[in-house]
Structure 1
Amino acid sequence: MSKKIISILMSLIVAASLIGCKTAEVNVEKKAETKTEDKVDSSDENLEGKWAKNYTLEETQKLYKEKLSKMESITKELGVKYEKDEKIKKEKEEPINDNYIYFDNNKPETNKIESLYFGMKTYGEKLETGDISLQVSLKFDRESAIKNNDFDLGKTSVKKYIEAFTEQEDIDYTDINKQIISKLKDGESQVKINNTIDGLKEEIIATKDCIIYKLSTKKYKFADGEMSMK
Protein backbone atom coordinates (compact mmCIF):
# COMPACT_ATOMS: atom_id res chain seq x y z
CA MET A 1 0.00 0.00 0.00
CA SER A 2 1.56 3.28 -1.12
CA LYS A 3 1.33 6.77 0.39
CA LYS A 4 1.89 5.71 3.96
CA ILE A 5 3.92 7.84 6.32
CA ILE A 6 4.50 11.51 5.63
CA SER A 7 1.01 12.89 6.33
CA ILE A 8 0.86 11.08 9.67
CA LEU A 9 4.28 12.35 10.59
CA MET A 10 3.08 15.85 9.81
CA SER A 11 0.29 15.31 12.31
CA LEU A 12 2.82 14.12 14.86
CA ILE A 13 4.82 17.30 14.46
CA VAL A 14 1.90 19.76 14.58
CA ALA A 15 -0.24 17.71 17.00
CA ALA A 16 -3.09 17.56 14.51
CA SER A 17 -5.72 14.83 14.33
CA LEU A 18 -4.78 11.64 12.54
CA ILE A 19 -7.08 11.06 9.57
CA GLY A 20 -5.99 7.48 8.94
CA CYS A 21 -3.23 5.36 7.49
CA LYS A 22 -4.68 5.34 4.01
CA THR A 23 -4.10 9.08 3.76
CA ALA A 24 -0.50 8.86 4.95
CA GLU A 25 2.31 9.29 2.45
CA VAL A 26 5.67 7.59 2.36
CA ASN A 27 6.25 7.62 -1.40
CA VAL A 28 8.73 10.46 -1.16
CA GLU A 29 9.83 10.13 -4.77
CA LYS A 30 6.38 11.36 -5.77
CA LYS A 31 5.19 13.19 -2.66
CA ALA A 32 8.22 14.25 -0.63
CA GLU A 33 6.20 16.47 1.68
CA THR A 34 7.17 16.89 5.34
CA LYS A 35 6.39 19.67 7.75
CA THR A 36 9.24 22.11 8.20
CA GLU A 37 9.57 23.38 11.74
CA ASP A 38 10.25 27.09 12.19
CA LYS A 39 12.05 26.40 15.45
CA VAL A 40 14.01 23.51 16.85
CA ASP A 41 11.75 21.30 18.98
CA SER A 42 12.12 22.42 22.60
CA SER A 43 12.12 18.76 23.71
CA ASP A 44 15.40 18.33 21.83
CA GLU A 45 17.15 20.22 24.60
CA ASN A 46 16.16 17.54 27.12
CA LEU A 47 17.49 14.56 25.17
CA GLU A 48 20.33 12.49 26.63
CA GLY A 49 22.60 9.94 25.00
CA LYS A 50 24.84 9.47 21.98
CA TRP A 51 22.50 11.13 19.49
CA ALA A 52 21.88 14.15 21.72
CA LYS A 53 25.42 15.45 21.22
CA ASN A 54 26.03 18.54 19.09
CA TYR A 55 27.34 17.05 15.86
CA THR A 56 28.77 19.08 12.98
CA LEU A 57 27.46 18.71 9.44
CA GLU A 58 30.34 16.43 8.47
CA GLU A 59 29.87 14.24 11.54
CA THR A 60 26.13 13.94 10.91
CA GLN A 61 26.67 13.08 7.25
CA LYS A 62 29.17 10.39 8.23
CA LEU A 63 26.76 8.88 10.74
CA TYR A 64 23.98 8.95 8.16
CA LYS A 65 26.08 7.18 5.52
CA GLU A 66 27.01 4.46 8.02
CA LYS A 67 23.36 3.91 8.96
CA LEU A 68 22.20 4.13 5.36
CA SER A 69 24.52 1.28 4.40
CA LYS A 70 23.00 -0.89 7.14
CA MET A 71 19.45 0.03 6.13
CA GLU A 72 20.16 -0.94 2.53
CA SER A 73 21.70 -4.25 3.61
CA ILE A 74 18.66 -5.15 5.72
CA THR A 75 16.28 -4.26 2.90
CA LYS A 76 18.24 -6.40 0.46
CA GLU A 77 18.23 -9.30 2.93
CA LEU A 78 14.45 -9.02 3.17
CA GLY A 79 14.26 -9.22 -0.61
CA VAL A 80 12.51 -5.87 -0.95
CA LYS A 81 13.11 -3.54 -3.87
CA TYR A 82 13.82 0.01 -2.76
CA GLU A 83 14.66 3.33 -4.35
CA LYS A 84 17.38 5.77 -3.42
CA ASP A 85 17.13 9.44 -4.23
CA GLU A 86 17.95 13.02 -3.32
CA LYS A 87 15.50 15.91 -3.61
CA ILE A 88 15.82 19.64 -3.13
CA LYS A 89 12.65 21.62 -2.46
CA LYS A 90 11.52 24.78 -0.71
CA GLU A 91 9.05 25.35 2.09
CA LYS A 92 8.35 28.90 3.24
CA GLU A 93 11.28 29.94 1.04
CA GLU A 94 13.62 27.65 2.99
CA PRO A 95 15.60 25.14 0.88
CA ILE A 96 15.41 21.54 2.11
CA ASN A 97 17.77 18.86 0.84
CA ASP A 98 16.38 15.35 1.38
CA ASN A 99 18.70 12.37 0.84
CA TYR A 100 16.87 9.05 1.41
CA ILE A 101 15.87 5.51 0.56
CA TYR A 102 12.29 4.26 0.60
CA PHE A 103 10.05 1.42 -0.45
CA ASP A 104 6.34 0.56 -0.62
CA ASN A 105 4.81 -2.88 -0.23
CA ASN A 106 1.43 -2.88 -1.98
CA LYS A 107 0.05 -6.08 -0.44
CA PRO A 108 1.63 -6.63 2.97
CA GLU A 109 0.51 -9.33 5.35
CA THR A 110 -0.50 -8.46 8.91
CA ASN A 111 2.47 -7.21 10.99
CA LYS A 112 4.54 -6.76 7.83
CA ILE A 113 6.05 -3.47 6.67
CA GLU A 114 3.89 -1.51 4.24
CA SER A 115 6.35 1.29 3.61
CA LEU A 116 9.66 2.63 4.84
CA TYR A 117 11.68 5.83 4.62
CA PHE A 118 15.17 6.49 5.96
CA GLY A 119 16.81 9.78 5.20
CA MET A 120 18.76 12.84 6.18
CA LYS A 121 17.38 16.34 5.66
CA THR A 122 19.39 19.55 5.76
CA TYR A 123 17.70 22.95 5.96
CA GLY A 124 18.69 26.42 4.80
CA GLU A 125 20.86 28.02 2.12
CA LYS A 126 23.99 27.25 4.15
CA LEU A 127 22.77 23.92 5.57
CA GLU A 128 22.37 25.49 8.99
CA THR A 129 20.37 22.62 10.50
CA GLY A 130 19.55 18.98 9.78
CA ASP A 131 18.21 15.69 11.08
CA ILE A 132 18.10 11.96 10.37
CA SER A 133 14.92 9.90 10.60
CA LEU A 134 13.50 6.41 10.13
CA GLN A 135 9.77 6.22 9.34
CA VAL A 136 7.93 2.92 8.98
CA SER A 137 4.31 1.91 8.37
CA LEU A 138 3.31 -1.55 9.59
CA LYS A 139 0.08 -3.31 8.59
CA PHE A 140 -1.93 -3.92 11.74
CA ASP A 141 -5.09 -5.88 12.63
CA ARG A 142 -6.44 -4.17 15.74
CA GLU A 143 -9.38 -6.55 16.25
CA SER A 144 -7.16 -9.63 16.16
CA ALA A 145 -4.56 -8.03 18.44
CA ILE A 146 -7.23 -7.17 21.02
CA LYS A 147 -9.00 -10.52 20.77
CA ASN A 148 -5.83 -12.57 21.14
CA ASN A 149 -4.05 -10.07 23.39
CA ASP A 150 -1.14 -10.47 21.03
CA PHE A 151 1.16 -7.95 19.37
CA ASP A 152 4.94 -7.77 19.57
CA LEU A 153 6.84 -5.03 17.74
CA GLY A 154 10.02 -6.94 18.52
CA LYS A 155 8.89 -9.84 16.33
CA THR A 156 8.40 -7.68 13.24
CA SER A 157 10.93 -6.61 10.62
CA VAL A 158 10.85 -3.11 12.07
CA LYS A 159 13.10 -4.44 14.83
CA LYS A 160 16.00 -4.92 12.41
CA TYR A 161 15.84 -1.31 11.29
CA ILE A 162 15.56 -0.01 14.85
CA GLU A 163 18.63 -2.02 15.85
CA ALA A 164 20.57 -0.75 12.84
CA PHE A 165 19.81 2.86 13.78
CA THR A 166 20.33 2.56 17.54
CA GLU A 167 23.09 -0.08 17.54
CA GLN A 168 21.18 -1.73 20.40
CA GLU A 169 20.04 -5.35 20.17
CA ASP A 170 18.53 -5.72 23.63
CA ILE A 171 15.64 -3.25 23.40
CA ASP A 172 12.64 -4.39 25.44
CA TYR A 173 9.36 -3.80 23.58
CA THR A 174 7.18 -5.24 26.36
CA ASP A 175 5.93 -1.89 27.64
CA ILE A 176 5.17 -0.59 24.14
CA ASN A 177 3.26 -3.78 23.28
CA LYS A 178 1.25 -3.58 26.50
CA GLN A 179 0.43 0.09 26.03
CA ILE A 180 -0.86 -0.47 22.50
CA ILE A 181 -3.09 -3.41 23.45
CA SER A 182 -4.28 -1.85 26.72
CA LYS A 183 -5.23 1.50 25.21
CA LEU A 184 -6.98 -0.12 22.25
CA LYS A 185 -8.95 -2.32 24.67
CA ASP A 186 -9.96 0.83 26.53
CA GLY A 187 -11.59 2.06 23.35
CA GLU A 188 -8.98 4.50 22.11
CA SER A 189 -9.19 4.72 18.33
CA GLN A 190 -5.68 6.12 18.07
CA VAL A 191 -2.82 5.28 20.42
CA LYS A 192 0.19 7.60 20.66
CA ILE A 193 3.40 6.66 22.44
CA ASN A 194 6.51 8.83 22.84
CA ASN A 195 9.86 7.62 24.10
CA THR A 196 13.60 8.16 23.72
CA ILE A 197 16.42 5.76 22.84
CA ASP A 198 19.98 6.95 23.49
CA GLY A 199 19.12 10.50 22.44
CA LEU A 200 16.78 9.52 19.58
CA LYS A 201 13.11 10.49 19.65
CA GLU A 202 10.75 7.53 19.29
CA GLU A 203 7.15 8.15 18.20
CA ILE A 204 4.50 5.47 17.67
CA ILE A 205 0.91 5.75 16.45
CA ALA A 206 -1.41 2.72 16.38
CA THR A 207 -4.76 2.84 14.59
CA LYS A 208 -7.27 0.34 13.27
CA ASP A 209 -5.19 -0.95 10.38
CA CYS A 210 -1.63 0.31 10.77
CA ILE A 211 1.16 1.25 13.13
CA ILE A 212 3.35 4.21 12.29
CA TYR A 213 6.82 4.09 13.82
CA LYS A 214 9.28 6.99 13.75
CA LEU A 215 12.79 7.22 15.15
CA SER A 216 14.59 10.51 14.66
CA THR A 217 17.49 12.62 15.83
CA LYS A 218 17.05 16.09 17.19
CA LYS A 219 17.36 18.93 14.71
CA TYR A 220 21.08 19.64 14.80
CA LYS A 221 22.28 23.25 14.64
CA PHE A 222 25.31 22.95 12.39
CA ALA A 223 26.06 26.66 12.50
CA ASP A 224 26.71 26.26 16.23
CA GLY A 225 29.08 23.37 15.69
CA GLU A 226 31.81 25.23 13.77
CA MET A 227 31.09 23.06 10.78
CA SER A 228 33.01 23.25 7.52
CA MET A 229 31.11 23.89 4.29
CA LYS A 230 33.67 22.05 2.15
Structure 2
Amino acid sequence: MSKKLISIFMSIVVAASLAACTNTTSNTEKKAETTTESQSDEKDKALEGTWAKNYSLEQTQKLYKDRLAKIESITKESGLKYSKDEKVKKDNGQSVNDNSIYFDNPKPEANKIESMYFGMKTYGDDLATGDITLKLSLKFDGENAIKNNDFDLGKTSFKKYIEAFTGQKDKDYSDINKQIIEKLKNGDKQVEINNTVDGLKEQVLATKECIIYILSTKKYKFADSNVSDASME
Protein backbone atom coordinates (compact mmCIF):
# COMPACT_ATOMS: atom_id res chain seq x y z
CA MET A 1 0.00 0.00 0.00
CA SER A 2 1.48 3.31 -1.08
CA LYS A 3 1.99 6.47 0.96
CA LYS A 4 -0.41 8.11 -1.47
CA LEU A 5 -3.13 5.79 -0.17
CA ILE A 6 -2.40 6.89 3.38
CA SER A 7 -3.08 10.48 2.34
CA ILE A 8 -6.36 9.32 0.82
CA PHE A 9 -7.18 7.54 4.07
CA MET A 10 -6.40 10.72 5.99
CA SER A 11 -9.09 12.57 4.02
CA ILE A 12 -11.53 9.69 4.71
CA VAL A 13 -11.72 8.44 1.13
CA VAL A 14 -11.45 4.67 1.32
CA ALA A 15 -9.32 2.72 -1.18
CA ALA A 16 -6.93 -0.23 -1.22
CA SER A 17 -3.63 -1.11 -2.84
CA LEU A 18 -4.67 -4.37 -4.47
CA ALA A 19 -6.25 -3.80 -7.87
CA ALA A 20 -9.27 -5.95 -7.08
CA CYS A 21 -9.83 -4.20 -3.79
CA THR A 22 -9.55 -0.77 -5.40
CA ASN A 23 -12.20 -1.68 -7.98
CA THR A 24 -14.65 -3.02 -5.44
CA THR A 25 -14.33 -0.03 -3.10
CA SER A 26 -15.11 2.56 -5.77
CA ASN A 27 -18.72 2.91 -4.59
CA THR A 28 -17.52 3.60 -1.06
CA GLU A 29 -15.16 6.32 -2.34
CA LYS A 30 -18.04 8.05 -4.08
CA LYS A 31 -20.18 7.76 -0.98
CA ALA A 32 -17.46 9.25 1.19
CA GLU A 33 -16.94 12.11 -1.22
CA THR A 34 -20.60 13.07 -1.10
CA THR A 35 -21.00 12.90 2.68
CA THR A 36 -21.86 16.40 3.89
CA GLU A 37 -20.58 18.21 6.95
CA SER A 38 -24.12 18.54 8.30
CA GLN A 39 -24.65 14.77 8.10
CA SER A 40 -21.43 14.23 10.03
CA ASP A 41 -22.50 16.74 12.66
CA GLU A 42 -25.82 14.94 13.14
CA LYS A 43 -24.07 11.60 13.60
CA ASP A 44 -21.67 13.17 16.09
CA LYS A 45 -24.55 14.59 18.15
CA ALA A 46 -26.08 11.12 18.44
CA LEU A 47 -22.93 9.56 19.91
CA GLU A 48 -22.99 8.40 23.51
CA GLY A 49 -20.12 7.29 25.73
CA THR A 50 -16.80 8.44 27.12
CA TRP A 51 -15.39 9.65 23.81
CA ALA A 52 -18.55 11.62 23.01
CA LYS A 53 -17.89 14.15 25.77
CA ASN A 54 -16.80 17.68 24.87
CA TYR A 55 -13.06 17.81 25.42
CA SER A 56 -10.83 20.87 25.17
CA LEU A 57 -7.90 21.07 22.76
CA GLU A 58 -5.46 20.35 25.59
CA GLN A 59 -7.47 17.38 26.83
CA THR A 60 -7.79 15.93 23.33
CA GLN A 61 -4.05 16.32 22.74
CA LYS A 62 -3.37 14.55 26.04
CA LEU A 63 -5.64 11.66 25.06
CA TYR A 64 -3.99 11.43 21.66
CA LYS A 65 -0.44 11.44 23.03
CA ASP A 66 -1.32 8.69 25.51
CA ARG A 67 -2.79 6.48 22.77
CA LEU A 68 0.03 7.36 20.37
CA ALA A 69 2.63 6.03 22.81
CA LYS A 70 0.75 2.74 23.10
CA ILE A 71 0.29 2.39 19.36
CA GLU A 72 3.93 3.17 18.67
CA SER A 73 4.96 0.50 21.19
CA ILE A 74 2.76 -2.10 19.45
CA THR A 75 4.19 -1.13 16.07
CA LYS A 76 7.76 -1.41 17.31
CA GLU A 77 7.03 -4.92 18.54
CA SER A 78 5.77 -5.88 15.08
CA GLY A 79 9.17 -5.09 13.55
CA LEU A 80 7.59 -3.05 10.74
CA LYS A 81 9.18 0.20 9.62
CA TYR A 82 6.92 3.12 10.49
CA SER A 83 6.90 6.91 10.20
CA LYS A 84 5.76 9.75 12.46
CA ASP A 85 4.84 13.00 10.86
CA GLU A 86 3.31 16.39 11.55
CA LYS A 87 2.30 18.59 8.67
CA VAL A 88 -0.03 21.41 7.80
CA LYS A 89 -2.00 21.48 4.57
CA LYS A 90 -4.92 23.32 3.05
CA ASP A 91 -8.19 21.46 2.49
CA ASN A 92 -10.97 23.42 0.77
CA GLY A 93 -9.24 26.59 1.88
CA GLN A 94 -9.04 25.49 5.51
CA SER A 95 -5.79 24.87 7.36
CA VAL A 96 -5.46 21.27 8.61
CA ASN A 97 -2.72 20.20 11.04
CA ASP A 98 -2.16 16.43 10.88
CA ASN A 99 -0.03 14.72 13.54
CA SER A 100 0.26 11.00 12.84
CA ILE A 101 2.02 7.65 12.91
CA TYR A 102 1.62 5.23 10.01
CA PHE A 103 3.15 2.32 8.16
CA ASP A 104 2.73 0.27 4.99
CA ASN A 105 3.46 -3.46 5.00
CA PRO A 106 4.51 -4.00 1.35
CA LYS A 107 4.14 -7.79 1.30
CA PRO A 108 1.58 -8.90 3.86
CA GLU A 109 0.60 -12.53 4.15
CA ALA A 110 -3.06 -13.53 3.98
CA ASN A 111 -5.09 -12.16 6.89
CA LYS A 112 -2.19 -9.96 7.99
CA ILE A 113 -2.20 -6.20 8.47
CA GLU A 114 -1.33 -4.19 5.38
CA SER A 115 -1.33 -0.63 6.67
CA MET A 116 -1.98 1.44 9.79
CA TYR A 117 -2.64 5.13 10.35
CA PHE A 118 -3.31 6.80 13.70
CA GLY A 119 -3.53 10.54 13.83
CA MET A 120 -5.00 13.67 15.33
CA LYS A 121 -6.16 16.49 13.09
CA THR A 122 -6.91 20.05 14.11
CA TYR A 123 -8.75 22.37 11.77
CA GLY A 124 -8.47 26.08 11.11
CA ASP A 125 -5.74 28.58 11.93
CA ASP A 126 -7.29 28.94 15.39
CA LEU A 127 -7.40 25.13 15.95
CA ALA A 128 -11.10 25.45 16.75
CA THR A 129 -11.99 21.82 16.02
CA GLY A 130 -10.23 18.46 15.88
CA ASP A 131 -10.58 14.68 15.82
CA ILE A 132 -8.60 11.46 16.33
CA THR A 133 -8.73 8.54 13.90
CA LEU A 134 -7.36 4.99 13.60
CA LYS A 135 -7.39 3.35 10.16
CA LEU A 136 -6.26 -0.21 9.48
CA SER A 137 -6.24 -2.40 6.38
CA LEU A 138 -5.92 -6.17 6.17
CA LYS A 139 -5.03 -8.42 3.23
CA PHE A 140 -8.09 -10.66 3.49
CA ASP A 141 -8.38 -14.26 2.29
CA GLY A 142 -12.11 -14.02 1.77
CA GLU A 143 -12.40 -17.09 -0.42
CA ASN A 144 -11.16 -19.40 2.31
CA ALA A 145 -13.11 -17.55 4.99
CA ILE A 146 -16.31 -18.22 3.03
CA LYS A 147 -15.36 -21.79 2.16
CA ASN A 148 -14.53 -22.71 5.76
CA ASN A 149 -17.09 -20.36 7.32
CA ASP A 150 -14.28 -19.24 9.60
CA PHE A 151 -12.76 -15.82 10.22
CA ASP A 152 -12.14 -13.82 13.37
CA LEU A 153 -11.04 -10.20 13.11
CA GLY A 154 -10.23 -10.41 16.81
CA LYS A 155 -7.43 -12.87 16.07
CA THR A 156 -5.64 -10.45 13.76
CA SER A 157 -3.23 -7.70 14.79
CA PHE A 158 -6.13 -5.24 14.49
CA LYS A 159 -7.11 -6.28 18.01
CA LYS A 160 -4.06 -4.73 19.71
CA TYR A 161 -4.46 -1.41 17.90
CA ILE A 162 -8.17 -1.18 18.62
CA GLU A 163 -7.59 -1.94 22.30
CA ALA A 164 -4.82 0.67 22.48
CA PHE A 165 -7.22 3.33 21.17
CA THR A 166 -10.39 2.39 23.06
CA GLY A 167 -8.76 1.21 26.28
CA GLN A 168 -11.25 -1.67 26.27
CA LYS A 169 -10.22 -5.32 26.41
CA ASP A 170 -12.07 -8.38 25.11
CA LYS A 171 -14.11 -6.63 22.41
CA ASP A 172 -16.65 -8.99 20.83
CA TYR A 173 -16.04 -9.29 17.08
CA SER A 174 -18.54 -12.11 16.50
CA ASP A 175 -21.21 -9.93 14.85
CA ILE A 176 -18.67 -8.27 12.55
CA ASN A 177 -17.22 -11.67 11.60
CA LYS A 178 -20.68 -13.08 10.91
CA GLN A 179 -21.79 -10.14 8.77
CA ILE A 180 -18.62 -10.17 6.67
CA ILE A 181 -18.80 -13.89 5.88
CA GLU A 182 -22.57 -14.06 5.36
CA LYS A 183 -22.80 -11.00 3.12
CA LEU A 184 -19.84 -12.01 0.96
CA LYS A 185 -21.22 -15.54 0.76
CA ASN A 186 -24.54 -14.10 -0.41
CA GLY A 187 -22.81 -12.35 -3.28
CA ASP A 188 -22.27 -8.83 -1.94
CA LYS A 189 -19.25 -7.26 -3.63
CA GLN A 190 -18.62 -5.03 -0.66
CA VAL A 191 -19.71 -5.18 2.96
CA GLU A 192 -20.13 -2.03 5.04
CA ILE A 193 -20.75 -2.16 8.79
CA ASN A 194 -21.26 0.91 10.98
CA ASN A 195 -21.34 0.88 14.75
CA THR A 196 -20.25 2.85 17.81
CA VAL A 197 -17.78 1.97 20.57
CA ASP A 198 -18.07 4.04 23.77
CA GLY A 199 -18.65 7.24 21.79
CA LEU A 200 -16.33 6.36 18.90
CA LYS A 201 -17.56 5.85 15.33
CA GLU A 202 -16.69 2.39 14.00
CA GLN A 203 -16.75 1.52 10.29
CA VAL A 204 -15.77 -1.78 8.67
CA LEU A 205 -15.48 -2.16 4.89
CA ALA A 206 -14.77 -5.59 3.43
CA THR A 207 -14.34 -7.33 0.10
CA LYS A 208 -12.95 -10.80 -0.60
CA GLU A 209 -9.50 -9.20 -0.93
CA CYS A 210 -9.28 -6.70 1.90
CA ILE A 211 -10.81 -5.39 5.10
CA ILE A 212 -10.59 -1.73 6.10
CA TYR A 213 -11.35 -0.75 9.69
CA ILE A 214 -11.87 2.87 10.77
CA LEU A 215 -12.37 4.06 14.34
CA SER A 216 -12.76 7.79 14.95
CA THR A 217 -13.90 10.36 17.47
CA LYS A 218 -16.48 12.97 16.70
CA LYS A 219 -15.14 16.30 15.50
CA TYR A 220 -14.58 18.10 18.79
CA LYS A 221 -15.55 21.76 18.96
CA PHE A 222 -13.06 22.92 21.54
CA ALA A 223 -14.99 26.07 22.47
CA ASP A 224 -17.78 23.78 23.71
CA SER A 225 -15.51 21.95 26.14
CA ASN A 226 -17.12 21.14 29.49
CA VAL A 227 -15.02 18.22 30.75
CA SER A 228 -12.65 18.81 33.63
CA ASP A 229 -10.66 15.57 33.44
CA ALA A 230 -9.71 13.64 30.30
CA SER A 231 -7.36 11.07 31.81
CA MET A 232 -9.51 8.11 30.69
CA GLU A 233 -7.16 5.46 32.03
When normalised by structure 2's length, the TM-score is 0.84
1:10 has 2:12 as partner: yes
RMSD: 2.4
Q: What are the superposed Cα offsets for residues 88-140 of structure 1, whole Å, 9 maximum, x if unpaired? A: 00011100000000000000001111011000000011011100000001000
- Secondary structure of the residue that 1:116 maps to in structure 2? strand
Distance 1:114 1:201 in 2: 22
Give the equivalent residue in structure 2 for 1:57: 57
Are 1:99 and 2:99 matched, yes or no? yes
* 2:65 counterpart SS class: helix
Does residue 143 of the first structure (1) align with residue 150 of the second (2)?
no
Unmatched runs of 5 consecutive residues or more in structure 2? 25-31, 228-233
Partner of 1:74: 74
Letter in 1 for 2:89: K
Alignment-derived partner of residue 193 in structure 1: 193
Tell me, yes or no, if the aligned pair for 1:4 and 1:114 is still in contact at 8 Å. Answer: no
Give the superposition deviation at 1:80. 1.3
Q: 1:37 to 1:117 in 2, by over 3 A?
A: farther
Unaligned regions of 5+ residues in structure 1, if any? 13-18, 25-33
In structure 1, give the amino acid aligned to 2:163: E
Q: Which runs of 4+ in 1 moved over 3 A?
A: 3-12, 19-24, 34-40
Give the helix-richer structure, 1 or 2: 2
User: In the aligned structure 1, how far is the partner of 2:92 from the partner of 2:66?
Assistant: 31
* Shift of residue 37, structure 1, vs aligned partner: 6.2
Q: Is the 8 A contact 1:7 1:23 kept in 2?
A: no
Match of 1:10, SS state, is coil
TM-score by length of 1: 0.85
- The answer to whether the 8 A contact 1:5-1:212 is kept is no
Percent of matched pairs sharing the same residue: 67
Q: What amino acid is the match of 1:75?
A: T
Name the count of aligned residue pairs. 212
Q: CA deviation at 1:81?
A: 1.3
CA distance in 2, matches of 1:139, 1:64: 27
Question: Whole-Å Cα distance in 1 between the matches of residues 56 and 187 of structure 2?
Answer: 45
For residues 122 and 65 of structure 1, what CA distance do their matches in structure 2 show?
A: 14
Q: Give the whole-Å Cα distance in 2 for the aligned partners of 1:23 and 1:165.
A: 30
2:44 aligned with 1:44: yes
| CA–CA separation in structure 2 for the residues paired with 1:6 and 1:93 | 17
Q: CA deviation at 1:225?
A: 2.2
